[in-house]
C-alpha cells in the first residue's frame, strides 16, 4: 500500500481541510494551520534576497526553523508568494485610498501587514484563523507595535454560526471593508455579508 512517503513531494497547502496531511519532502504538514508556517517561510526567504520585492522582518521568526526548512524544500513557492504579496499590498493600498476603514484577513496565518505596511492608524484590521494559531501568533507578536489596531479572532471558519456572529459584529462597526481569504477551507460565498 502506498504511504505518504511514496507520494510526490508537493505541498497541497491551500484550500484544504483541517485534517489534510501534505507531504513536503521529509516534513509533513499535519494540520492546515501549519501551512501558515510555509507561507511565512517563503516570505522570509524573499525578504532575505538582496533585491527583495518586499521586506517582512517578522516572517522568518514566525515561520520558525520548521517553516523555513519546509519552505526551502519548495523554493518555487517563494516567488509565487512574493508576487502575490506585492499585488495584494497594492490592492489594500488602493482600497484604503478609496475609503475603507476595516480589513478582514480570513485565514490570516502569519501575515504581518499591519506591522510592515504604511497603514492609517485609524484602520481596523481583523485577522481570523484557527484558535491555536491565533493564540500562538498573539504571544509571538506581543512586543511588536502595529501601524493600526488589530483584532485577532480564533475561529473555525467552516463553523457557519460562529462566523456569522463574528461577521455581524465586524459589519456593525465598519463603514467599508475589504476582505481576503487565501487558503481557507470554506465555501466561496462566505466573505459576502449575507454568507
Ligand X SMILES: C[S@@+](CC[C@H](N)C(=O)[O-])C[C@H]1O[C@@H](n2cnc3c(N)ncnc32)[C@H](O)[C@@H]1O
- Which residues make up the interface to ligand X (CB under 6 A)? 13-14, 32-33, 35-36, 39, 107-111, 129-130, 133, 156-158, 182-186
Closest CA to 157 of 181, 137, 178: 181
Min dist. Cβ of residue 26 to ligand X (A): 20
Min dist. Cβ of residue 7 to ligand X (A): 19
Distance CA 13, CA 26 (A): 16
What three-state secondary structure class fits 128?
A: strand
In order of 47, 106, 130, 161, the CA distances from 148 in angstroms are 22, 17, 22, 28
Place of cell 455581524: 168
Min dist. Cβ of residue 2 to ligand X (A): 25
Distance CA 178, CA 103 (A): 5
* CB closer to ligand X, 124 vs 182: 182
Min dist. Cβ of residue 79 to ligand X (A): 14
Residue closest to ligand X when measured from CB atoms: 109
* CB closer to ligand X, 32 vs 102: 32
Amino acid at each position: 500500500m502506498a504511504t505518504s512517503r511514496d507520494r510526490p513531494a508537493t505541498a497541497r497547502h491551500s484550500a484544504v481541510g483541517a485534517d489534510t496531511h501534505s507531504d513536503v519532502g521529509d516534513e509533513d504538514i499535519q494540520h492546515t494551520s501549519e501551512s501558515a508556517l510555509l507561507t511565512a517561510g517563503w516570505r522570509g526567504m524573499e525578504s532575505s534576497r538582496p533585491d527583495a520585492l518586499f521586506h517582512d522582518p517578522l516572517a522568518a521568526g514566525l515561520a520558525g526553523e520548521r517553516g523555513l526548512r519546509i519552505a526551502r524544500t519548495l523554493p518555487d513557492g517563494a516567488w509565487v508568494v512574493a508576487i502575490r504579496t506585492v499585488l495584494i499590498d497594492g490592492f489594500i493600498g488602493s482600497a484604503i485610498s478609496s475609503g475603507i476603514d476595516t480589513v478582514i484577513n480570513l485565514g490570516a496565518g502569519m501575515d504581518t501587514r499591519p506591522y510592515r505596511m504604511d497603514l492609517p492608524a485609524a484602520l481596523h484590521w481583523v485577522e481570523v484563523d484557527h484558535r491555536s494559531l491565533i493564540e500562538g501568533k498573539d504571544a509571538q507578536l506581543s512586543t511588536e507595535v502595529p501601524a493600526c489596531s488589530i483584532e485577532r479572532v480564533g475561529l473555525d471558519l467552516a463553523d457557519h454560526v460562529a462566523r456569522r456572529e463574528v461577521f455581524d459584529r465586524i459589519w456593525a462597526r465598519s463603514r467599508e471593508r475589504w476582505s481576503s481569504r487565501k487558503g481557507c477551507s470554506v465555501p466561496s460565498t462566505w466573505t459576502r455579508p449575507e454568507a
